[in-house]
Amino acid sequence: MSSSGIVASGRIGTGLSLMCEPEFQLATECLFSAGEVDVLEWSFDMGWGMPVSAWVMGQLKEFSNAGNLLGHGVSFSPFSGRWSRRQEAWLEHFSDEVSRNPMRWVSEHFGFMGAGDFHQNAPLPVPLNSETLAIGRSRLEMLAEVSGRPVGMENLAFAFSEEDVREQGEFLEQLLEPVNGFLLMDLHNVFCQACNFDCSPIELLSLFPLQRVRELHISGGSWDETSSSGDRLRRDTHDGPVPLEVFDLLAEALKRCLAVEAVILEQIGTAFDSESIREQFRCGYRRMRDVVHSVNMSAPKATP
């Protein structure tokens, strides 16, 4: 890739969500050394307050210098109604982060996450009304001002009701429009909602402002049971292989999301505890790369 980043290639890049655990390095080092990783996503606030290895720092610097580092926040909690000192401190750390490792763009999670350790919780949805919309817009403006980069939001996997599911796309469009923000479309999140509310994932995909999608995520997860009914619940836990249905959804999304520049595979760093799991992850990455490559090959060639 050229120093001007993934956009200059005229093709969709594939990449990984960078994890700090040494097992992640074991799983992915061969992908990096073979030049199979075009773009890297860094959930920067996961690295705050924990040891970051020289290998991780080296990858951040290399991809940042090439214009191929994407920033992804987890714990800002942009819809929390009460502004907190914790969020002020988050913005201060964020400012240092983007100065140290410049990023092509920055995203956060739609919803709020201000109830404790984010490793133990999922972002929660918020209802669409004038008050929540104003809060979300003001927080996006803060992110844009501090970073000086395009900002976006990721769709949620969790919902309290089917109304939450069907309203989310409209909410995101109203939220992103004032800052010309982008949508980070997580396809496993769509899959989770389709499973949990017995909906068609393709139908749910069509409810989002797909013209705003610049980045796609795929991942795996797990099944759980609800305590009240015993029904199966699909969870976005990032600790399992990508379901075949999500690969199918990726192929469909790439036909519909014509502004996509990057597709990212996620798996939490603590999940790589055996060589068979690490090899399964590499196979999943290469399958994702093959899907994207077929789209790149069929795209019109850029005029010199």
pLDDT per residue over 162-186, tens digit each? 888 899 999 999 999 999 999 999 9
pTM of the model: 0.92
Pick the closest to residue 215 from 259, 266, 157, 267 (CA basis). Answer: 259
Average pLDDT over every residue of 242-261: 97
Average pLDDT over every residue of 254-279: 97
- Residue 262, domain member (yes or no): yes
In this prediction, residue 232 has a pLDDT band, given cuts at 50, 70 and 90, of: confident
What's the mean pLDDT when you consider all of the chain?
91
Output the pLDDT for position 8.
Answer: 57
In this prediction, residue 47 has a pLDDT band, given cuts at 50, 70 and 90, of: confident
- Residue 275, domain member (yes or no): yes
- Residue 168, domain member (yes or no): yes
Range of the domain at 55: 6-298
Instruction: Using the Cα atoms of residue 188, residue 111, residue 118 and residue 213 in order, give the sign of their dihedral.
Output: positive
Number of domains present in the structure of the chain: 1
- Residue 304, domain member (yes or no): no
Q: Give the CATH number, domain containing residue 12.
A: 3.20.20.150
- Residue 1, domain member (yes or no): no
- Residue 224, domain member (yes or no): yes
Output the pLDDT for position 141.
Answer: 97
- Residue 270, domain member (yes or no): yes
- Residue 303, domain member (yes or no): no
